[in-house]
Structure 1
Amino acid sequence: MTISSTPEDVSVSPRHIRFDVSEDLKKLWHGNDAFRTAFFNALSLQFPEGEQQFISAVRHYRDRIDDPKLAGEIRGFIGQEALHSREHKDYNEALKARGYDIEAIDRRFDRHMKWVRKLPPSRQLAGTCGAEHYTAVLANAILKNPEWMEGATPTMQQLWRWHAIEETEHKSVAFDVYRNCVGDDRLRRIVFLFVTWNFFKYTFLNTCSLLRKDGKLWSLRTWLGGLNFLWGKPGVIRRCLPDFLAYMRRDFHPWQQDNRALLRENLEQLESGYAAN
């Protein structure tokens, strides 16, 4: 019986692309804007360990999957997330080389992840589904609104496009595993509330840590610009909010947001940009 809900025309396959961002991260790479640069860097700081946890949570259950299609997508999911972890480790090392106290930020997040790894496998997988929803919604928004990355360096635009494409491709894999192996919808929604708190908490704390090093933590102008970016115009969080909250519906499924046309369009841009290099 097929339990995978990934559309037939979507392939969950890792792309072995390398991004040298060491020069880009020596500066405020997002249009010389301190807040926008810090916000995206703050997201990156969570990815290496977070995505390794996603892999571990799904691996707990993969031997229970009989559907060959979903089994193949699990392999693709693991491959994609492993490469994301690798590239963001390099990204974060470049931030460290610039002088940010990445070790202190990592220690803070590692304490949380140690707690997560002690949870029962069902809760770890529920947490993965919730976190994957956040990455999928943000990925869709980045692909749909290229103006959000206007002013960013070309390499950084390509890195975030690549990451967003693959998060979109595998957005239902962990969810399908959870639905088949755990199936507790109440647990799924309760855990999402904890994921929401921690996602915004660590993104905010990381952003503050980076802005402190830049000497912008107490800059009213920086924060007003940041609040406008997130909640005003373009309103990154404001415009994503309905899609974030859709996860709380009892009938929710990731591919209810069918963005395959957007995925194809951005794949063409990624491949043409990569070929040009």
Structure 2
Amino acid sequence: MSISTTSTNTASISTTSTNTASISTTPDGVTVAPRNLKFDVSPDLKTWWHSNDPFRTAFFNALSLQFPEGEQQFINAVRLYRDRIDDPKLKAEIRGFIGQEALHSREHRDYNEGLKARGYDIDAIDARFHRHMAWVGRLPASRQLAGTCGAEHYTAVLANAILSHPEWMEGATPAMQRLWRWHAIEETEHKSVAFDVYRQCVGNERLRRVVFLFVTFNFFKYTFLNTCSLLKRDGKLWSLKTWLGGLNFLWGRPGVLRRCLPEFLGYLRRDFHPWQQDNRELLRQNLSALKSG
């Protein structure tokens, strides 16, 4: 089956594989396979590792705190349906997806242990997020998979932004730049895997969009709460200078979240598909940079 995904601002891409009956829409030239890389960022976490800026550092650390348990839930949700997939290409990509997410979870768990060693109350932050994820794990399988698709959209858009705008990570330590590039590359590679499983096994477009609204609320909620918890430990929670700089970083210039907002909202389109953002060339460029780094 040939699937074409088009957008008003991207070229049409064909996702036909050598298996014409494939339901996978991962395009030619993209392989979903884990890279077993190790990153020792514990020395970096003793500092404000991004530009010596407490907010930028706390924002990325706040994202990391959600990854170990969040990505395990993504794995669990896809596993609930993988026995219903017969397409060999998509089955292989599911294995690659699980491998990539497991390694991301491992590396960010070590990352978060480094934050704990610095003196942050990571146990309290984890307990808060664990209660939410335990609730997610009790939802019907279709809602869990819809939530995974929505969360994967956020990670894919942020990954594209990091890869497209290396200047946003200028001032970060080399080890951190490499870790976030690796994570962004693999999130991009597997961005349509859960979506393909959902479309094949559930296919409820209304549910997909409604669940995305809940995912959006919780993504911003826990990122904000985590950032506040980290800034409080740094003595910067009530620093006007810190918050003005942070708001500028996220919503002004460069405006990390502002620039991503149209792509975030694109998920609500009825004809949405992850590969409407055809960033294969960006992947190739960053894979080369990852290997040389």
Corresponding residue for residue 204 of structure 1: 224
When the two structures are superposed, what TM-score results if normalisation uses the length of structure 2? 0.93
The 2-side partners of 1:253 and 1:176 are apart by 9
1:132 matched to 2:152: yes
Corresponding residue for residue 11 of structure 1: 31
The 1-side partners of 2:138 and 2:37 are apart by 33
Corresponding residue for residue 148 of structure 1: 168
Which one of 192, 202, 212 corresponds to residue 212 of structure 2? 192
The 2-side partners of 1:47 and 1:227 are apart by 23
Aligned residues: 273
Q: Percent identity?
A: 82
Corresponding residue for residue 274 of structure 2: 254
1:178 matched to 2:178: no
Q: Structure 1: 5+ residue runs without aligned partners?
A: none
Corresponding residue for residue 34 of structure 1: 54
Equivalent residue letter for 1:59: R
Equivalent residue letter for 1:186: R
1:120-156 residue CA offsets vs partner (Å, 9 max, x unmatched)? 0000000000000000000000000000000000000
Which one of 166, 179, 188 corresponds to residue 159 of structure 1? 179
1:56 matched to 2:76: yes
Equivalent residue letter for 1:165: I
The 2-side partners of 1:113 and 1:246 are apart by 25
1:93 matched to 2:116: no
The SS at the match of 1:192 is: helix
Equivalent residue letter for 2:60: F
- Kindly state the Cα deviation for residue 73 of structure 1 after the two structures are TM-superposed: 0.1
The 2-side partners of 1:12 and 1:114 are apart by 28
The SS at the match of 2:24 is: coil
The 2-side partners of 1:195 and 1:115 are apart by 13
- Kindly state the Cα deviation for residue 8 of structure 1 after the two structures are TM-superposed: 1.9
Corresponding residue for residue 3 of structure 2: none
Which one of 108, 119, 126 corresponds to residue 106 of structure 1? 126
The 2-side partners of 1:233 and 1:215 are apart by 25
The 1-side partners of 2:113 and 2:183 are apart by 18
The SS at the match of 2:41 is: coil
Equivalent residue letter for 1:135: T
The 1-side partners of 2:116 and 2:220 are apart by 22
Which one of 131, 138, 142 corresponds to residue 118 of structure 1? 138
The 1-side partners of 2:154 and 2:163 are apart by 14
Structure (1/2) with the larger helix percentage:
1
- Kindly state the Cα deviation for residue 214 of structure 1 after the two structures are TM-superposed: 0.2
Equivalent residue letter for 2:39: F
- Kindly state the Cα deviation for residue 27 of structure 1 after the two structures are TM-superposed: 0.4
The 2-side partners of 1:169 and 1:25 are apart by 28
- Kindly state the Cα deviation for residue 223 of structure 1 after the two structures are TM-superposed: 0.1
Q: 4+ residue stretches of structure 1 with deviation over 2 A?
A: none
